[in-house]
Amino acid sequence: MSVNVPKTLPKLLFTCYRHIFPEVRTNLNRWENFAERVPNDELNKQAKASIDTKTFHCEGGAIYATLAKSRWKEAVKFIVAYQTISDYLDNLCDRSTSMDPDDFRRLHDSMLNAILNEPVNEHPNYYELREDQDDGGYLASLVDTCQEVVQKIPNYERVYPAVRRLAQLYIDLQVHKHVKLDERVPRLTGWYDEENEHEFVLWNEFSAVTGSTIGIFSIISYALDGYDYSGQVMKAYFPYMQGLHILLDYYIDQNEDEQEGDLNFCHYYEDEHKTIERLKFFIDGSRMSTKKLPDSDFHQLIVSGLVGLYLSDLKADELHDGERNRKDLLRHSGMKAQMIFMNGRAYRKWKKKKGLGE
């Protein structure tokens, strides 16, 4: 069965609820069952927590599977597995007693192996530099699942350089932002000076831009349908769409990150007014840049979806002047974002009632 790329909000919502989200749940159930069997207590805990509290990441990312059309289920399979690796490793680094950058990089070698177009015959020990070791093959199985999908993509070598570039920047971010507290900003600003190619992007924004996986999901989904749009996607998604994605994520997590002592890139703006101003800048940039993409109507819907869905999280209401800023951002984003916001609130209530993950 094929799905059509949704170009209107009703079709997007129908496709998500009828096809995409149930398929995401099917895939996540598999990984949740696997996580339950992870032998090491700490790895077991973090594997389960990454699924239980971050289901939303997989659901949002899997919307890009519609770009794969008849191969949408394969796209969902890759997106769920890759995002689960990302969320699991983020938990391990965030909640770890380790501050070793070599440890973080070794863990994230799994994300580079996951996108290789050649089989990994023997997985390295991704946990080599940390105390907790035995995951019962959990991480290796996630990597294998991603490889099963990308190795079936025709002419994958054409899109691989862009996919690897995005993956490598994501990994570099994870290493730099999880080291000792006093080393984080110097490492991130030095990295920004070396890698940033857009003078209008601030150092904290560049870090946010690199922290998104949606550019990879878009490129892989198109490639499954036989198209190489990697160049166009890179221009639209890096920096604008990926920046909007992660800045919104950090925006709603400000209170939580402050309580946990976690780094939050919105905290580096001079004040709250500047934060909202820059969010609007990335909204406007995303609107303009996605007009030039194939399936531009779909990508424009994603802009509205990012704003509406993130602001539908109750954490956004708990921020200082949260309600006023939410209304301001929704008004700036337009009617579709406001409709997605209302739908998102209703969906979150339904999931909570059903006892499903966040």
Q: CATH number, domain at 190?
A: 1.10.600
Which tokens in the block code for residue 11?
């079709």
Considering the domain boundaries, does residue 228 fall inside one?
yes
pLDDT confidence band for 269 (50 / 70 / 90): very high
Considering the domain boundaries, does residue 300 fall inside one?
yes
pLDDT confidence band for 25 (50 / 70 / 90): very high
Considering the domain boundaries, does residue 112 fall inside one?
yes
Q: Which domain holds residue 57?
A: 9-354
Round the average pLDDT of the chain to a whole number and report it. 94
Query: Is the predicted pLDDT of residue 121 greater than 60, yes or no?
Result: yes
Considering the domain boundaries, does residue 1 fall inside one?
no
Average pLDDT over residues 287-310: 96
**pLDDT of amino acid 232:** 97
Considering the domain boundaries, does residue 2 fall inside one?
no
pTM of model > 0.85: yes
Query: Is the predicted pLDDT of residue 1 greater than 90, yes or no?
Result: no
pLDDT confidence band for 344 (50 / 70 / 90): confident
Considering the domain boundaries, does residue 260 fall inside one?
yes
**pLDDT of amino acid 37:** 97
Considering the domain boundaries, does residue 3 fall inside one?
no
Average pLDDT over residues 157-183: 95
Query: Is the predicted pLDDT of residue 357 greater than 70, yes or no?
Result: no
Query: Is the predicted pLDDT of residue 353 greater than 80, yes or no?
Result: no
Per-residue pLDDT reduced to its tens digit, 29-59: 999 999 999 999 999 999 999 998 888 899 9
Per-residue pLDDT reduced to its tens digit, 54-81: 888 999 999 999 999 999 999 999 999 9
User: How many domains, in total, are found in the chain?
Assistant: 1
- 286 contacts 334 by C-beta, under 8 angstroms: no
Considering the domain boundaries, does residue 40 fall inside one?
yes
**pLDDT of amino acid 354:** 64
